């Protein structure tokens, strides 16, 4: 197959776009598509300071690469969760650090075990048993991202969620008719509380397969393994279902997600105005919380210090 733009041999055929591109035209196409998403959803401008949450995986490292190539001021944040005897966290940290070195980019590294005395699986085990690891992990990551964004003076946090991630979350939310989650699922989450950073997902119009191809073509070295706690996750099952749909009808996945965003924008889906809970700063860390006194994050660590 030949590249539609220049006629060289194509490295990828995207059936949903009826488009085949070569190794030179494809990365440029991805970068233009991301630039278009950033403009379309008014995510940030060239004067803004962006903190990219990097996990060492293909999506977040590729996002960082695209933002740097587009001339944005983008620093990375790697959060070491202390996961995996097989070295998942160690390996993914090495990938993030190697990328930063190779691109002369700044990388913040925050280690949960070093700073708080326990790894994410340890704190989850102590508090809730293993099945809660991912929700505790999410809470910890959100807290650290907000703290680093606030202390480092960043305007926005960018995450590497791709279209497959967003479509899988959407499918989960629709299957449950989780109105609250549907309402909040968007490419941009505004900083609507003091102390919370604005969050954006510039890869939300690109397929996972396209991001894997981008990483490959750009020579980005990333960690192939999934986090061991992702195994058996419902989101992976939903991704699989959507891929089966995509197989039969190319573009179905993209249509499912973008039609949702469009319908909401055009007022075809209406959500009740949420009664906004007033948040107050946590007594210990200062991040907004609905709890009296300590926020959920700070409560996780109560007693750990003394035991150490
Ligand atoms: S890193 Fe954390 Fe994920 Fe691993 S423990 Fe679960 S939430 S699966 S994105
Ligand atoms: Zn707190």
Q: How remote is the CA of residue 284 from the centroid of ligand 2, in Å?
A: 5
Distance from residue 202's CA to the centre of ligand 2 (Å): 29
Q: Is 134 in the pocket of ligand 1 (CB under 6 A)?
A: yes
Question: Helix or strand or coil: residue 14?
Answer: strand
The rounded Å distance from CA 140 to ligand 2 centre is 11
228 Cβ inside 6 Å of ligand 1: no
pTM (predicted TM-score) = 0.95
In tens, the pLDDT along 204-259 reads 999 999 999 999 999 999 999 989 999 888 999 999 999 999 999 999 999 999 99
Please classify residue 134 by burial: count the beta carbons closer than 10 Å to its beta carbon, then call 0-12 exposed, 13-18 middle and 19+ buried: middle
Chain centre distance of CA 266: 26
**pLDDT tens digit sequence for 111-159:** 999 999 999 999 998 887 656 899 999 999 999 999 999 999 999 999 9
**Hey, whose CA ends up nearest to atom 1 of ligand 1?**
227
| Both tokens assigned to 219 | 């020579």
pLDDT of 307 > 70? The answer is no
Q: How many CA atoms lie within 13 A of 114 on its CB side?
A: 5
Q: What is the pLDDT of residues 47-84, one digit of tens each?
A: 999 999 999 999 999 999 999 999 999 999 999 999 98
Helix extents (H) in 106-251: 112-116, 120-128, 133-152, 163-176, 179-184, 208-217, 234-248
Mutate to test the pocket of ligand 1, among 92, 133, 135, 143 (most ligand atoms within 8 A of CB): 133
């Amino acid at each position: 197959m030949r590249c539609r733009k220049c006629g060289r041999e194509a490295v990828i055929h995207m059936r949903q776009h009826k488009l085949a591109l070569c190794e030179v035209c494809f990365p440029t196409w991805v970068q233009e598509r991301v630039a278009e998403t950033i403009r379309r959803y008014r995510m940030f401008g060239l004067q803004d300071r962006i903190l990219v949450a990097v996990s060492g995986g293909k999506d977040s490292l590729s996002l960082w690469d695209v933002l740097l190539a587009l001339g944005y001021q983008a620093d990375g944040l790697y959060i070491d969760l202390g996961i995996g005897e097989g070295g998942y966290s160690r390996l993914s940290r090495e990938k993030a650090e190697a990328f930063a070195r190779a691109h002369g980019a700044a990388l913040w590294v925050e280690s949960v075990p070093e700073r708080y005395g326990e790894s994410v699986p340890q704190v989850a085990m102590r508090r809730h048993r293993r099945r809660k690891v991912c929700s505790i992990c999410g809470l910890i990551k959100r807290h650290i991202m907000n703290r680093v964004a606030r202390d480092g003076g960043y305007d926005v946090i960018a995450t590497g969620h791709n279209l497959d991630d967003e479509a899988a979350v959407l499918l989960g939310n629709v299957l449950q008719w989780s109105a609250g989650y549907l309402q909040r699922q968007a490419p941009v989450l505004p900083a609507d509380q003091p102390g919370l950073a604005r969050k954006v997902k510039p890869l939300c119009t690109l397929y996972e397969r396209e991001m894997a191809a981008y990483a490959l073509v750009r020579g980005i070295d990333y960690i192939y393994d999934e986090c061991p706690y992702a195994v058996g996750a419902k989101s992976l099952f939903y991704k699989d279902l959507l891929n089966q749909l995509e197989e039969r009808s190319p573009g179905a996945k993209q249509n499912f997600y973008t039609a949702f965003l469009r319908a909401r924008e055009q007022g075809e889906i209406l959500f009740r105005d949420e009664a906004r809970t007033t948040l107050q700063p946590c007594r210990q860390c200062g991040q907004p919380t609905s709890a009296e006194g300590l926020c959920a994050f700070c409560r996780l660590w109560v007693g750990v210090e003394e035991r150490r």
